Structure 1
Amino acid sequence: MVERITLMMVDDHHLVRQGILSLLEVQDDIEVVGEASSGEQALQMVAVLTPDVVLMDLMLPGISGVEATRKVKQLSPQTQIIVLTSYHDDEHIFPALRAGALSYVLKDVGPDELVATIRKAAHGEAVVHPRVAARLVQEIQGVKKEAHSVLTDLSEREREVLRLIARGHSNAVIAEKLVISEKTVKGHVSNILSKLHMLDRTQAAAFAWEQGVVQRSNEA
């Protein structure tokens, strides 16, 4: 027996929903369990239906598709969201992905590709339109450059403290290793968090590992 994927469509255009419905009706493994024309209606339906996949338009009356995406993920974390939109600019792409969307495809997508995207989403596999993928790569490269720039703002002593934070050492242990007072260590930690724009030492430690500030071959 074929395992069915339950799907809900959220789009304020009836013709769009009908076109997708006609496409999916002939798919043995995909069952459309609901249609919503607004974000508010989508949230009410998701709370009851908890579909496997939601096709989400971004331009909706009432709350936006981005906000609806965020709230759907809060209501039903296991539901995967595919943004299906005409927009491929930064002000739509990044907020939608940060809100919890798994995939981002444009409405010029081919029928077979859309069906394949739905099947992949049901298994947690992301699909993004090539234009969107290009912007993601550019953004990641930009973030890496920015991260390198931020690291250069740290003094050599702050880098030493950051390495030890990443190793999981407490302020007291760091003070002992660097032969400085614990109060001085606290000052360095505060400066590090401020310069890196981070909330706590856990974030700073993760950042240090990601950026290669500390490496597994280093001594503790």
Structure 2
Amino acid sequence: MAAEFDLVGVVENGRDMVEAARGLQPDAIVADITMPLLNGIEALELLRKEGIETPVVFLTMHREVDYAITALEAGAAGYVLKHSAPDELVRAVHVVLGGGTFVSPSLAGELFQATRARSREHGEAAVALSVRQHDILRLLADGKSAKEIAKALDISSRTVEFHKYKIMESFGLKNGAELIHFAIKRGIARP
């Protein structure tokens, strides 16, 4: 890849990614979803709010379709699974530089099916979990307290409660049992 593209910067967290994008103005950004301080999707959302339209390709280990949907809804131009790299990554960068969207073929069919299924579900067509909400829901379903989740994700307990409330409100869930059932139904937690 080095011969084909010029690497203009490397960052270690989501906040630095936003700063680098502002300063370096790259033609494309390759990022991970799981980054400290600000995850990749949150960093992408911040870039879009600032009007920075640099195409972002996520190179990630997250094979779950919900992550891909959330990334694409946030404005990602590509979603490449790490086990597929480097060939797919090079193709993805070429596609997004040409104005297209690229998703790892091994995930594309599943993504299409999930998108169709979502559009059929009552009231859920326009609602997707953010990566942070997905992580919090998974940990809640694993029986963790808000305090334990806050410590694990390096956020406040209040932020955990806020996300829990937003998930319940968005999907019409009335209590913790419905929340756990929802997590199992979505494949976020095991029964």
Scaled by the length of structure 1, the TM-score of the pair is: 0.51
Determine if the alignment matches structure 1 residue 116 to structure 2 residue 116.
Answer: no
Secondary structure of 2:15's counterpart equals: helix
Alpha-carbon distance in structure 2 between the residues aligned to 1:75 and 1:35: 21
1:65-107: per-residue Cα shift (whole Å, max 9, x none)? 1101111233353300101001111342222111110110111
In structure 1, what is the equivalent of residue 81 of structure 2?
Answer: 106
Find runs of 4+ consecutive structure 1 residues off by over 4 angstroms. Answer: none
Q: Which has the larger radius of gyration?
A: 1
Opposite residue 46 of structure 2, the aligned amino acid is K
Structure 2 CA distance for partners of 1:50 and 1:68, relative to 1, 3 Å: same
Secondary structure of 1:68's counterpart equals: helix
CA RMSD of aligned residues (A): 2.5
Alpha-carbon distance in structure 2 between the residues aligned to 1:53 and 1:76: 15
Deviation at 1:62, TM superposition (A): 0.9
Structure 2 CA distance for partners of 1:76 and 1:122, relative to 1, 3 Å: farther
Opposite residue 122 of structure 1, the aligned amino acid is L
**Pick aligned residue for 2:64 from 51, 74, 89:** 89
Determine if the alignment matches structure 1 residue 59 to structure 2 residue 34.
Answer: yes
Alpha-carbon distance in structure 2 between the residues aligned to 1:46 and 1:131: 29
**Pick aligned residue for 2:2 from 25, 41, 45:** 25
Please show how residues 1-220 of structure 1 align to structure 2 within 5 Å: 24-27=1-4, 30-146=5-121
Deviation at 1:129, TM superposition (A): 1.4
Asked whether the equivalents of residues 104 and 132 of structure 1 are also in contact (C-alpha less than 8 Å), the reply is no
Alpha-carbon distance in structure 2 between the residues aligned to 1:111 and 1:86: 13
Alpha-carbon distance in structure 2 between the residues aligned to 1:26 and 1:60: 27
Structure 2 CA distance for partners of 1:110 and 1:137, relative to 1, 3 Å: same
Q: Number of residues paired by the alignment? A: 125
Asked whether the equivalents of residues 47 and 75 of structure 1 are also in contact (C-alpha less than 8 Å), the reply is no
Asked whether the equivalents of residues 52 and 78 of structure 1 are also in contact (C-alpha less than 8 Å), the reply is no
Structure 2 unpaired stretches of 5+ = 126-191
Deviation at 1:53, TM superposition (A): 0.5
Alpha-carbon distance in structure 2 between the residues aligned to 1:144 and 1:78: 27
Asked whether the equivalents of residues 59 and 89 of structure 2 are also in contact (C-alpha less than 8 Å), the reply is no
Asked whether the equivalents of residues 65 and 114 of structure 2 are also in contact (C-alpha less than 8 Å), the reply is no
Asked whether the equivalents of residues 42 and 68 of structure 1 are also in contact (C-alpha less than 8 Å), the reply is yes
Structure 1 unpaired stretches of 5+ = 1-23, 151-220
1:155-195: per-residue Cα shift (whole Å, max 9, x none)? xxxxxxxxxxxxxxxxxxxxxxxxxxxxxxxxxxxxxxxxx
Alpha-carbon distance in structure 2 between the residues aligned to 1:144 and 1:60: 30
